[in-house]
């Protein structure tokens, strides 16, 4: 399977034409047309991730987050230059599927909604339609099979995401039935979630004033947890659709945040 064929497959699941106007999806660093045997998938194009992928023998690397939003040259020493040097020296292709994947709510981006068995799942913020007439958009919203208390719902989310620490802000609902979520930094969709009847909204990177001004309960599970699992699942989808003989491996990242829990010391979430 050639380099261009792998790029075309990624574009099938996450067409870069649907990416946000400010984003940089698709090929980040071009490699030559070659026979692809090993595809590495990860959340972030960080030096230790890239080196692990290259040590494994990857000849194609796909990450969720772009190497850079704005194309630029490495004007100073640092991780950006390190990654460019590694990829160029290995003569491989580095691609990113960022907001182009985020808007495909019928795909892996909505994995937590399906894990929670939300019914009537639909896009929270519709931005386009694909060629099949399906809505594309950020986040998702749906209904639980049965009503839960907020405490029981937070416990369920913690188990599904593996988060040891979940920040809860906003007024607590009497019950949780309708659930909205958006991976990554989705606090801009807080108002839209509650306008559509959500009892809770799950996202990451919620800022102080957004939490303070929210009209409903917001669960901040962090940027990492939802998107790390999303990319792991995307690696499975790619492996199922690549030609026989092409190996896919997911390279786990790490949450950059650690939390101090009284009596337990520093814990990774």
Dist. CA 111–CA 121, nearest whole Å: 11
Mean pLDDT over 40-56 rounds to: 98
Determine the pLDDT at residue 73.
Answer: 84
Dist. CA 58–CA 63, nearest whole Å: 13
Are the C-beta atoms of 222 and 201 separated by less than 8 Å? Answer: no
Residue 34: half-sphere exposure toward Cβ, Cα within 13 Å: 14
Mean pLDDT over 123-130 rounds to: 95
pLDDT band per the 50, 70, 90 thresholds, residue 268:
low
Mean pLDDT over 236-257 rounds to: 94
Determine the pLDDT at residue 259.
Answer: 73
pLDDT band per the 50, 70, 90 thresholds, residue 74:
confident
Dist. CA 165–CA 43, nearest whole Å: 21
Mean pLDDT over 34-41 rounds to: 98
Mean pLDDT over 115-130 rounds to: 96
Dist. CA 205–CA 184, nearest whole Å: 7
Are the C-beta atoms of 234 and 39 separated by less than 8 Å? Answer: no
Indicate if the pLDDT at residue 261 is higher than 80.
Answer: no
Determine the pLDDT at residue 205.
Answer: 94
Determine the pLDDT at residue 120.
Answer: 97
Are the C-beta atoms of 88 and 61 separated by less than 8 Å? Answer: no
pLDDT tens profile 164-218: 889 999 999 999 999 999 999 999 999 999 999 999 999 999 999 999 999 999 9
Cβ atoms < 10 Å from Cβ of 33: 11
DSSP annotation string for 233-253: HHHHHHHHHSPTT-EEEE---
Dist. CA 50–CA 95, nearest whole Å: 12
Paired tokens of 113:
């909604």
Q: Average model confidence (pLDDT) for the chain?
A: 94
Indicate if the pLDDT at residue 71 is higher than 90.
Answer: no
Determine the pLDDT at residue 131.
Answer: 87
Are the C-beta atoms of 45 and 65 separated by less than 8 Å? Answer: yes
pLDDT tens profile 96-120: 999 999 999 999 999 999 999 999 9
Dist. CA 117–CA 181, nearest whole Å: 13
Q: pLDDT: is 163 or 156 the higher one? A: 156
Mean pLDDT over 24-31 rounds to: 97
pLDDT band per the 50, 70, 90 thresholds, residue 267:
low
240-268: b (≥16 Cβ within 10 Å) or e: eebeeebebbbbebeeeeeeeeeeeeeee
């Amino acid at each position: 399977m050639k380099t261009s064929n792998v790029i075309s497959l990624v574009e099938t699941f996450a067409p870069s034409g649907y990416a946000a106007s400010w984003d940089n999806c698709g090929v980040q660093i071009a490699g030559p047309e070659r026979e692809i045997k090993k595809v590495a998938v990860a959340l972030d194009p960080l030096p230790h991730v890239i080196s692990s992928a290259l040590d494994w023998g990857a000849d194609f690397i796909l990450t969720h987050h772009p190497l850079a939003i704005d194309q630029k040259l490495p004007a100073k020493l640092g991780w950006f230059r390190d990654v460019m040097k590694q990829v160029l020296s290995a003569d491989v292709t580095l691609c990113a599927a960022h907001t182009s994947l985020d808007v495909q709510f019928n795909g892996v981006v909505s994995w937590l909604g399906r894990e929670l068995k939300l019914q009537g799942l639909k896009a929270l913020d519709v931005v386009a339609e694909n060629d099949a007439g399906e809505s594309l958009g950020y986040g998702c919203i749906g209904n639980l099979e049965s009503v839960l208390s907020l405490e029981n719902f937070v416990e369920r989310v913690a188990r599904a995401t593996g988060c040891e620490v979940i920040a809860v802000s906003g007024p607590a609902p009497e019950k949780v039935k309708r659930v909205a979520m958006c991976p990554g930094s989705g606090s801009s969709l807080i108002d839209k979630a509650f306008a559509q009847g959500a009892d809770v909204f799950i996202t990451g990177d919620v800022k102080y004033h957004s939490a303070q001004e929210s009209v409903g309960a917001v669960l901040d599970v962090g940027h990492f947890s939802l998107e790390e699992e999303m990319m792991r699942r995307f690696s499975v989808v790619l492996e199922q659709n690549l030609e026989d003989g092409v190996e896919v491996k997911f390279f786990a990242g790490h949450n950059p945040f650690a939390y101090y829990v009284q009596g337990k010391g520093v814990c990774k979430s």
